[in-house]
Structure 1
Amino acid sequence: MELIDNTREVFRRDRVWAFMLPKPVKVDVAKEIILYIEDLSVSFDGFNAINNLNLYIRDGELRCLIGANGAGKTTLMDIITGKTQPDSGSVWFGQTHNLLEHDEAAIAHLGVGRKFQKPTVFEAQSVFTNLELSLKTNKGVLPTLFARLGASQRARIDEVLLTIGLTEQRDQDAGSLSHGQKQWLEIGMLLASDSRLLLVDEPVAGMTAEETEKTAALLISLAGKHTVVVVEHDMEFVRSIARTVTVLHQGAVLAEGTMDEIQRNKAVIEVYLGEEQADSETATAGVAQ
C-alpha cells in the first residue's frame, strides 16, 4: 500500500504533469471569429451532402443550426471534428489552426468538443470519475492508473459540477442518472476537457419540460466564455436560446438571422418551416405583442 501511495504521489497531476503535457493551445480570434468555413463541399456516392457551404461563427456566441433531415448538419459536424474529410474547401479554428490538417484526437486537443445526441458517458463510473477522466491530462498508462488529483483539479471538477447542476450526484454512478442529467454530464465532460468550441447535437431530445428549461439556461450560461453551436429540431427550444440561427438546406446556408427573421423568411417557409407553422408562429407573436 505504501508503494502505491508513493507512486500516486510521484504522479500527482498538480506537481509533475505540467511538463508531460503538450503546450497550451492558443487560438487567434483577433478578428472575433473562432470558426471559419469557406467553400466547403463533400459528396457521398454522387449525393452532395455539403454544397459550397460558407459559415462563420463568432467567438463566444451561441449559434443554432436548423434544417430538415439531410440538410447537412451532421456531416458538417463530422467535418469540423475530423471524422469526415471534405472534397474541397477550408475549415479554420481561429486564424491559425487548419482543422483539415488534424485528426479527431488532435482537433479535440485544440479545444473543439462534440456532444452527440445519445449521451456517451461511462455509466459504471461515478459522475466525479467521468469528469476526472475528461480532464486535459496525460493519458499514459501509469499516470492514469496511479495519478492523484491535486487541489486545482478537484476545484475544477467542483466548478464543473456546480455549472451543470450535478453537485449532489457527484458520487452517483452515471448510469443511474436521468436522461437529462446524462446530457448535462456529457456537457460537463467537454467543459472539464477545456473545450472552447462546443458542438451540441439535439441536447433536449427525450427530455422533460423541466429538463429542457434547465438545459436552455445551461447553454446560455456557457456562451461568452465558450462558443456554443447547437443543432436542434425543437423550434420552441431554439427560440428560447437563439441569438443567431443558421438554416441549412441541401448542404448550403439557406438563411441566417434571428429566429423571428428566420420564421418570416419566405425561402425558409417554403423548404423547412411550412406555411402553416410559420403563420401560427406569426399569429402567436402578434398576440404576444
Structure 2
Amino acid sequence: MSALDNTRELFRRDQVWPFLAPAQSRVNVDNQMILYVEDLNLSFDGFKALNNLNLYINDGELRCLIGANGAGKTTLMDVITGKTQCDSGTVYFGQNHNLLNKDEAEIAQLGIGRKFQKPTVFEEQTVFDNLELSLKTDKRVLPTLFSRLTPTQIDRIDEVLKTIGLAEHRFMLAGALSHGQKQWLEIGMLLAADPRLLLIDEPVAGMTAQETERTAELLTSLAGERTVIVVEHDMEFVRSIARTVTVLHQGSVLAEGTMDQIQSNKDVIEVYLGEEAVGEKGAEQGKGERA
C-alpha cells in the first residue's frame, strides 16, 4: 500500500476520531413519540405566525400538514429546524433533545432533514455524486481531501438510488433530470444522511400525474423506519398518503384526524376547504354566465 493510500485510509469517510466526534445521544422515543411541539408562539411585527401551537408526532408515522397560505406551516418547519427562533414554547425531538437550544447544524446532526419545495440539487454533478456529497461524513478539508468511499457507503448510495427509482440514472447529470426526478433526488440526498425525521415541503408541486403517484409510493415506503411530515396543498395527494392530517389555521391547530374526518369537519370546511368550494362554485357560475 502506497503512502497516499495509507493517508487515505487514515482519513477515510467512515473513520471517526473520538476527540473530533460530536457529542450525541440517542433519540429517546420510549413513549412512541418523536416530536413534541407545545405552546409555540412567534410574532413578526405584530403578526401572530404561530399562536399557542401544539403538535405531537408519533415515531414512524407519516403526517400531513395542510392549511391556507399564512397558516403557519413553513414557520413551524423553520422553528423545528432551527432556522427561526420562536418567542415562547417548547420543541423536543424525542424526550431528550430540546431543539430550541440548538442551531441548524446541530439539529441536522441529530437526524432531522428538511426538503424545501424547490429542488436544490447540484445540477453540474451526477446523481451519484449528489448522493455522495450528502452522506453523513466529516466535511472538513483534510478528511474530505484524502477520503474515498468505503464499500459500506457505496452500498448505502446504491440502496438510496433503488429507493428513489434513479438507479439507472446514477451517472446522469442532475441538471438533465426531469422536475419530478430532481424532487426524488433531493429526497434521496436527505436519505443519504440517514435522518430519523423528514420534513417535506410540497413534494408534488409541478409534477405529472405519474410522478405524483410515484412520489406517493416513495413517501409511504419511508414511513415506519423513519418519521415523515409532509406539507402539501394537493388534497388528492394528501388523501393518497395520509393516515393522520393536521390542519393549521392562523398559527394554531384547527383540526386533526383522518382525511375523511377532516373533510367533514365544520370548522375546516368553513375556514379552509370551504374557501376552495366557494371558489370552485364561483368559477362554475362564471362559466355558465359566459356560456
CA distance in 2, matches of 1:276, 1:7: 62
CA distance in 1, matches of 2:63, 2:138: 32
Q: Residue 17 of structure 1: SS of its match in structure 2?
A: coil
**Given residue 10 of structure 2, which amino acid in structure 1 is its aligned partner?**
V
**Given residue 134 of structure 1, which amino acid in structure 2 is its aligned partner?**
S
Equivalent residues in 2 for 1:107-186, closer than 5 Å: 107-186=107-186
Number of the residue aligned with 2:249: 249
CA distance in 2, matches of 1:140, 1:25: 22
Unpaired runs of at least 5, structure 1: 281-289
Superposition deviation, residue 3 in structure 1: 5.6
Say if 1:21 and 1:137, in contact at 8 Å, map to a contact too. Answer: no
Number of the residue aligned with 1:34: 34
Deviations 1:168-199 (A, max 9, x none): 11111111111111111111111111111000
Q: How many residues align?
A: 277
CA distance in 2, matches of 1:158, 1:116: 24
Number of the residue aligned with 1:92: 92
CA distance in 2, matches of 1:41, 1:92: 15
CA distance in 2, matches of 1:4, 1:104: 35
CA distance in 1, matches of 2:83, 2:4: 39
Number of the residue aligned with 2:16: 17
Superposition deviation, residue 10 in structure 1: 3.0
Number of the residue aligned with 1:60: 60
Say if 2:67 and 2:248, in contact at 8 Å, map to a contact too. Answer: yes
Superposition deviation, residue 84 in structure 1: 0.6
Deviations 1:58-109 (A, max 9, x none): 0000000000000000000000000111101000000000000000000000
Superposition deviation, residue 12 in structure 1: 2.1
Query: C-alpha root-mean-square deviation of aligned residues, in Å?
Result: 1.6
**Given residue 196 of structure 1, which amino acid in structure 2 is its aligned partner?**
R
Superposition deviation, residue 139 in structure 1: 0.8
Number of the residue aligned with 1:239: 239
Superposition deviation, residue 276 in structure 1: 7.1
**Given residue 28 of structure 1, which amino acid in structure 2 is its aligned partner?**
N
**Given residue 103 of structure 1, which amino acid in structure 2 is its aligned partner?**
D
Say if 1:245 and 1:257, in contact at 8 Å, map to a contact too. Answer: yes
Q: Residue 65 of structure 2: SS of its match in structure 1?
A: strand
**Given residue 97 of structure 1, which amino acid in structure 2 is its aligned partner?**
H
Superposition deviation, residue 271 in structure 1: 0.3
Unpaired runs of at least 5, structure 2: 281-291
CA distance in 2, matches of 1:39, 1:76: 12
Number of the residue aligned with 1:209: 209
Superposition deviation, residue 141 in structure 1: 0.2
Aligned identity (percent) is: 75
Moved over 3 A (4+): 2-7, 17-21, 275-278
CA distance in 1, matches of 2:8, 2:77: 38
Deviations 1:224-262 (A, max 9, x none): 000000000000000000100000000000000000000
